A and B are shown apart, each in its own frame.
Chain A
Amino acid sequence: MRSLQSHPVKFTVLLALVWAFVLVLPTMVVASGHGAAAQQSKVAYSGGPPQLEKAKGDACIRESGWMRRNHMDFLKHRRAETVREGLRIRSESLVRCAECHQSHEKFCDQCHNYVGVAPDCFECHSYPK
C-alpha cells in the first residue's frame, strides 16, 4: 500500500489537464475571434504606414503623443468611472471625439489595422463611419 508514491502526482496532473480544458476552451474561442465579443471585420492590412485623416479642431484634450500611447487606458478607466460612478466630464466625453476625428475608417481603423488590434467598443457604441 505504501508504494504508491507517484499517484498523487499523476492525479494532480490529470486534474490540472481537465481544468485546463475547461478554462482554456472559452479563452480559445475569444482568441479565435469567434466569441460573443465578435470583433470588427479585420481588413487585411496592405500598404505603408497608417495615413490618419487630419483632425478638425485645434487641439486634442491631451497632447497627441500621450493620446497615441494612452487613449485605450484613458478610455477604459473613464469607462468604469462613468458607468459606475456616474462621472460625466462633458468636455472629454467619448461622443465628442467624433467632433474632430470624424471617421472611424479613416482615423481609428488606420492604426488598429496596422498593429492588428480589434477592440470591440464600437460593436455597441456608435461612431461615424
Chain B
Amino acid sequence: MLSNFTKIEGRSFSYWRIIILLGVLILMGAGAFIAVEVQGHGITGMNNKIAWGVPHVFAISLLVMASGALNLGSMSTVFAVKQFKQFGRFSAFLAIALLVGGLAVLMLDLGRPDRLLLTVMHMNFRSMFTLNVFLYSGFIVLCVLYLWSMFEYQQYTKVVGSAAFMWRVILTTGTGSIFGVLHAREVFHSALTAPTFVALSLSSGTAISIILLVTTFKHTKRELEDKVVFGLRNALIFFTLLVAYLLVVEKFTKMYSPAFYDVQSWILTGPYSWLYIFGVWGATILVPLGILFHPAKGNSIKGVYWAAFSAVIGTFAMVAHILLAGQAYPLNMFPGYEVSSVFLDGVSATYTPALVEFILGFGGIAITGIIYMLGIKFFRMLPDKAVAPEGYELPWNP
C-alpha cells in the first residue's frame, strides 16, 4: 500500500467560507483579549475562588487533544499498525495546530501578558508551569522533525516518531500534574490525575482525528475506506474504556476512605454534579461506548462520527469538571469543622462565565482550525485515498 499525498484544492467557495469564519473568530478572540487587558479581569466571570475559568478549560482541553492527536502517527510508527501510516503527517500536523491554539489561549488569559518574557528570564524550575513550557516547546520541535522526516527522510521516522511518542506521554503527564500536584485541592489531588489525563488525551485525540478525517475526506471527495474508520473506532473504544477504568479506580480508592466521603458526595450531589454525571460519565464515556457497541450504529460511519463528537465534548466537560468543581469545592482548612466567613469560606464557590471568556476560547479553537485548513492546502498532508492494507481484516466488530 503506497499512499500518494496531495494538497487539497482549497479554492472552493465553502473552503473560503470556513477560512473567513475562522478568521472572524480569531479577530473576535483578539478583541476579547484586548478587552480583558484594558478592562481587567473584572469583565470576566472569574473570581478569587475560581481563578481559572473557561479560557483555561479551552486551553487545557486543546493541549490534551494535541498530544492525543499524535496517536495515529505513533500507532503506525511505534506500534507498526500499518493502516494508520497514511495519517502520520496529518496527525503530527494536527498535534502542532492544537498545541498552538491551546497555548495561545493560555497566554492571552494572563493578568499581565505584557510580562510574558519574565517567565523566560526568571525560570522557576520547581514550577509545573515552567516544566510544561519546556515540554510544549520540545513537543513542537519533535513534531516538526517527525513531519520533516516523514516528508523527506523516511529512514529517521521511526526514531523521531518514537521520541515524539515518549515525549507526549511525559507531556500529558505534565499537564495533568499541573492539577495533580496541588495537595490542597481534594477534588483533583491524586496520583491518578496525570494518568487519567494521558488516557483522556488518547481517547480525545483519536476522536478529534476521526471527526477531522471523516469531514475532510468527505468534503474533498477523497476516498476513505470504512475499514480504516472502524479501526479508529476500535482504538477509541479501547481508550475510552481506559479512561473509565482510571476514573473508577480513583473513585473506588477515595470512596473507601472516610476522609473523602464529604468530597465524593459533594461531587455526586453538589452544584457541579450535573457536569460530573452528564459530562464526565455521559459525554466522555457512556454515550460513545453506547453508540460504538451498538450493532447497527457502531458499524456506520455516522455513528462513529457522533460518538467521536460526544467524546470531544466530553473532554471539554471533563477538564471543566476537574478545573471548576476542583476550585469550587471549599478548601478544607479545618477538617471536621464547619467554617464560615465574609470571604465565603466553607461554601461552594459560584462562577458564571462571561461571554468574553468563551470568545477567547473559541479564538483558540479558530487558531487551531485555521492552521489546519491552511496546512492541508499548502502541504501534502493527506493521502489521495485512504484504504486499509491488502487483506486486512478488522479483529472485531460490534
Q: Which residues of A contact B (CB under 8 A)?
A: 1-2, 4-5, 7-8, 10-12, 14-15, 18-19, 21-23, 25-27, 29-30, 34-38
Q: Give chain B residues whose Cβ lies under 8 Å from the Cβ of A7.
A: 151-152, 379-380
Once A25-B33, A26-B107, A29-B113 are accepted as A-B contacts, the answer to whether A10 and B378 lie under 8 Å apart by CB is yes
Is B389 an interface residue when CB atoms closer than 8 A count as contact?
no
Contacts of B144 in A (CB 8 A): 11-12, 15
Contact between A36 and B152 (Cβ–Cβ < 8 Å)? no
> What chain B residues lie within 8 Å of A12 (beta carbons)?
144
21 sampled A-B residue pairs with Cβ under 8 A: A4-B151, A7-B151, A11-B144, A12-B144, A15-B140, A18-B367, A19-B100, A21-B104, A22-B103, A22-B104, A25-B108, A26-B107, A29-B33, A29-B34, A29-B114, A35-B38, A35-B112, A36-B37, A36-B40, A36-B112, A37-B112
Task: Please tell me if the beta carbons of A26 and B38 are within 8 angstroms of each other in the complex.
Answer: no
Tell me the smallest distance from the CB of B199 to a CB of chain A, in Å: 29
Residue B187, interface by CB 8 Å: no
- Set B37, B116, B154, B378: member contacting A14, Cβ < 8 A: B378
B88 to chain A, nearest CB (A): 13
CB distance from B95 to the nearest CB of A (A): 12
- Determine if B114 and A4 form an interchain contact, defined as CB atoms under 8 angstroms apart: no
CA distance A14 to B375 in the complex (A): 9
**Contact call A8/B148, Cβ cutoff below 8 A:** yes
SS of A interface (majority): helix
B40 nearest CB neighbor, chain A only: A36
Residue-wise interface mask of B (79-116) relative to A, using a CB-CB cutoff of 8 A (1 in contact, 0 not): 00000000000000000100010011001100111101
Are B374 and A14 in contact, CB atoms less than 8 angstroms apart?
yes
Residues of B near A35 (CB, < 8 A) are 37-38, 112-114
Contact B107 A22 (CB under 8 A): yes
Asked if B70 is at the interface of the complex by the 8 Å CB criterion, the answer is no
Query: Contact at B151–A26, with CB atoms within 8 Å?
Result: no
Query: Which residues of chain A have C-beta atoms less than 8 A from B112's C-beta?
Result: 35-37
Q: What chain B residues lie within 8 Å of A2 (beta carbons)?
A: 152
The 7 A-B pairs at the shortest CB distance, nearest first, are namely A26-B113, A30-B114, A35-B114, A22-B104, A8-B148, A34-B38, A4-B151
Contact indicator A18/B37 (Cβ below 8 Å): no
Confirm or deny: B60 has a beta carbon within 8 angstroms of a beta carbon on chain A.
no
| B30 adjacent to chain A (CB < 8 Å) | yes
Q: Smallest CB–CB gap between A3 and chain B, Å? A: 10
Given A26-B107, A29-B114, A36-B111; 7 other pairs, CB 8 A cutoff: A4-B151, A14-B374, A23-B116, A25-B30, A29-B113, A37-B112, A37-B114
Which of B38, B108, B114, B151 sits near A27, CB closer than 8 Å? B114
Shortest Cβ distance from residue B308 to the other chain A in the assembled complex, whole angstroms: 26
Q: Which residue of B lies closest to A37 (CB)?
A: B114
Closest B residue to A30 using CB positions:
B114
B107:A11 contact, CB within 8 angstroms? no
Convert B133-160 into 0s and 1s, putting 1 for each residue whose CB lies closer than 8 angstroms to a CB of A.
Answer: 0000000100010011001101000000
A residues near B103, Cβ cutoff 8 Å: 22
Contacts of B100 in A (CB 8 A): 15, 18-19, 22
**Cross-chain contact B379 with A11 (CB below 8 angstroms):** yes
Given A22-B104, A35-B114, A36-B114, A8:B152 Cβ within 8 A: yes
- Is B378 a contact of A26 with CB atoms below 8 Å? no
CA separation between A30 and B33, bound complex, in Å? 12
Question: B371 in the interface, Cβ–Cβ < 8 Å?
Answer: yes
Nearest chain A CB to B119 CB, angstrom units: 12
Chain A residues, CB < 8 A from B152: 2, 4-5, 7-8
Closest to A7 in B: B151
CB distance from B272 to the nearest CB of A (A): 31
Contact of B147 among A11, A25, A38 (CB under 8 A): A11
- Kindly supply a per-residue 1/0 record for chain B positions 305-344, scoring 1 wherever the CB is within 8 Å of any chain A CB and 0 otherwise: 0000000000000000000000000000000000000000
**Nearest neighbor of A5 in chain B, beta-carbon distance:** B152
Report B-chain residues with C-beta under 8 Å of the C-beta of A26: 107-108, 113-114, 116
Complex: A26 Cα to B38 Cα, angstroms? 12
The listed residue with most B CB atoms (<10 A of its CB), out of A5, A11, A37, is A11
Task: Give chain A residues whose Cβ lies under 8 Å from the Cβ of B380.
Answer: 4, 7
